[in-house]
Chain A
């Protein structure tokens, strides 16, 4: 009876190939039957697949760095969506306004803690030798407290989001533009003294930053999009806080990845239930974003927002690829993924780099969560299912491979949508999990294995 292993090696490949061929033939036949409907399904598949691709990108990045499944990832997706709901909805929960000071205080504290740690790790560790540690500690605490209070203000005054965030946006743009201009100038005028270049780039940065800040301050319509950024950043900060506050200690003792998995399952359980307590467990709509009317294209309809989602997925992919392949940080991330102990020996501060990876991963999850939330509705337990879909997409594409994550995400979205052509729409979760089992049985390394 259990000659299955041998059977799998031999006929298994043939069976798998036959199944794939049958599926392909079925799709081709359906397309030939009604091309218009096929275009519609393809559009649906694209927009769903973009969300899955985003999830798979973040998931595969985190997993291939730390090699355990962090289920906080699902909670981050839900938090991204609920962050937007928290900041921008006009609905009420149980007769009260959604926005409540206790929730804001919790997140402000988390952000303050993360910033305090980031300052400690980045700036003050370098200044330690030159100045008094007490002063440094006081300055770091003061800066972190300021950041926490600012976050608290932003979270409790969602109606003035554009005013409150305009200085932050201005400073960010100023620093970015200044940096880029300085870099370009340095390349252009090799051998010139640094001071004039610095002054010029500082002026350029300040001007552009101030302009951007004013632009944001004068546009109340931008509040929704600012709330996207805020909720992604907050979800990322919570991810970092979890990593630094919990996973670091746990990884020192844990014998197996299952302990980490169960612990993060506890985190997911607690956050999901807390979300349900704060926002009630019924599904809710997010406020309307742009592009909610559909365009007719090649006989199908697609919403502008879905095109935007696909764009975000591709941009996220490109950004992550650049980060991993072209920058020093990316090289250290890949080094840690290959062998953490050796990376530590070589002198990489693994804690900081992994914290950055967790931040990026949580931001990707939150972005996927809020994009899918705008497309459909949000509910507290959406996170778990979204995370599982991201997990499946990264398994299908090949865990640890960015190209694989994108391919897997879009392929999963397409297969789900084409699969429910003749079935009812409710079966799409079943389809994706059957695909997962099929892949794990026959192609456990995915479509594009990690190189």
Chain B
């Protein structure tokens, strides 16, 4: 993952020959990207104090789980899915509905059933539900390629958003669900920020290890073969559809786990967290970090989180425009990447 093993070309030569410095920087772009982003994160944590760093860390962990899981689909099957936020939302809403105990006294019309399950009982349900949805969606979407797949995955994201918004009997629509339960193991409740961060990092580690296992196993090698030449792999006797569907479902389940974590962390969710735009941002994280690398997705998520917070220190930019300014920067970055480095910062595979 780190490409630090590559030998650095002599620095001395760059002093005499300015062109050599550019070549040096370019040949080690991956290393530079790593160094700059990690240094940025550390500086941030030191400057802003630990409380802020913990919040950022949790946000980063959730985005990173999403990015790593989406990278399995985009990087290893070549299908650019813009609908991943749908699975995220399914996980979040399942956990929210199953664990919320809120009684909405003021708004009797929007009352929804309460179950009051613990978090760790609700999360597997959400994950399985997302997996089942992914099977159904995957079977239908199986025949689409390239840009048509992008279009239908847009459609999936929009359908999911509309279901969250309009199935009021379950999701309370635009009012959102309050008082989502915090995770609890025995008597230990993860209700302060630090312990939640620890939990999120554990989730992230599990997802990263799982993805790493998938990628490096023989299963992952078949996936790579499918991405490079689907027809040829089929000729060798592999059930291409099965492999693609499996990785799609696994990725959806990881996204749903991230969703459950998100719902429990914010304790309040409404459909605005699951709009199409978030999905586009997620795709840009994955492409920014690089396709088919786990480390790249982590770096992409880190950059994304740091970008927003970094924007707060741009002079003359009011706080309410920070999110929009980040989108402008991301958009420009996407264009530049597609021009000069279509595989993303650390990518192994070009779109």
Residues of A within 8 A of B (CB): 2, 4-5, 8, 68-69, 246, 249-250, 253-263, 265-274, 276-277, 281, 381, 384-385, 388, 391-392, 395, 424, 426-427, 429-430, 433-434, 436-437, 440-441
The 8 Å CB contact of B147, one of A257, A269, A381, A436, is A257
Say yes or no: A391 contacts B151, CB within 8 Å.
yes
A218 to B342, CA, bound (A): 54
Say yes or no: B162 contacts A429, CB within 8 Å.
yes
The 8 Å CB contact of A267, one of B148, B324, B331, is B331
Say yes or no: B140 contacts A427, CB within 8 Å.
no
Q: Which residues of A contact B47 (CB under 8 A)?
A: none
Q: Which residues of A contact B284 (CB under 8 A)?
A: 265-266, 269
Minimum CB distance partner of A391 in chain B? B151
Say yes or no: B151 contacts A277, CB within 8 Å.
no
B351 at the interface (CB under 8 A from A): yes
Say yes or no: A69 contacts B150, CB within 8 Å.
yes
Q: Which residues of B contact A391 (CB under 8 A)?
A: 151
B333 at the interface (CB under 8 A from A): yes
The answer to whether A440 and B162 touch (CB under 8 A), given A263-B339, A268-B331, is: no
The 8 Å CB contact of B152, one of A68, A258, A276, A436, is A436
Per the 8 Å Cβ criterion, residues 90-149 of B in contact with A are: 139-140, 142-144, 146-148
The 8 Å CB contact of A277, one of B146, B245, B325, is B325
Say yes or no: A269 contacts B80, CB within 8 Å.
no
Which stretch (B23-31, B153-161, B259-267) binds chain A?
B153-161
Q: Which residues of B contact A392 (CB under 8 A)?
A: 151
Say yes or no: B339 contacts A250, CB within 8 Å.
yes
Minimum CB distance partner of A438 in chain B? B140
Tally inter-chain residue pairs, CB-CB below 8 A: 141
How many chain B residues touch A (Cβ–Cβ < 8 Å)?
49
Q: What are the 9 closest A-B residue pairs judged by CB atoms, nearest first?
A: A270-B331, A266-B334, A273-B327, A433-B155, A269-B331, A263-B338, A266-B335, A266-B331, A273-B324
Minimum CB distance partner of A266 in chain B? B334
The answer to whether A266 and B80 touch (CB under 8 A), given A2-B245, A433-B155, A437-B140, is: no
Q: 16 interchain pairs (CB within 8 A)?
A: A2-B239, A258-B147, A259-B351, A261-B80, A263-B334, A266-B331, A272-B327, A273-B331, A388-B151, A388-B154, A430-B163, A433-B155, A436-B152, A437-B140, A437-B152, A440-B144
Say yes or no: B155 contacts A265, CB within 8 Å.
no
Q: Which residues of A contact B325 (CB under 8 A)?
A: 273, 277
The 8 Å CB contact of B328, one of A250, A274, A381, A434, is A274
Q: Which residues of B contact A255 (CB under 8 A)?
A: 342, 350-351
Select the residue from B144, B159, B287 with max chain A CB neighbours within 10 A: B159
Say yes or no: B166 contacts A259, CB within 8 Å.
no
Interface of A is mostly: helix
Say yes or no: A263 contacts B335, CB within 8 Å.
yes
Say yes or no: A269 contacts B330, CB within 8 Å.
yes
Q: Which residues of B contact A253 (CB under 8 A)?
A: 339, 342
A2 to B241, CA, bound (A): 8
Say yes or no: A426 contacts B162, CB within 8 Å.
yes
A191 to B322, CA, bound (A): 69
The 8 Å CB contact of B338, one of A259, A272, A433, is A259
Per the 8 Å Cβ criterion, residues 141-190 of B in contact with A are: 142-144, 146-148, 150-152, 154-156, 158-159, 162-163, 165-166
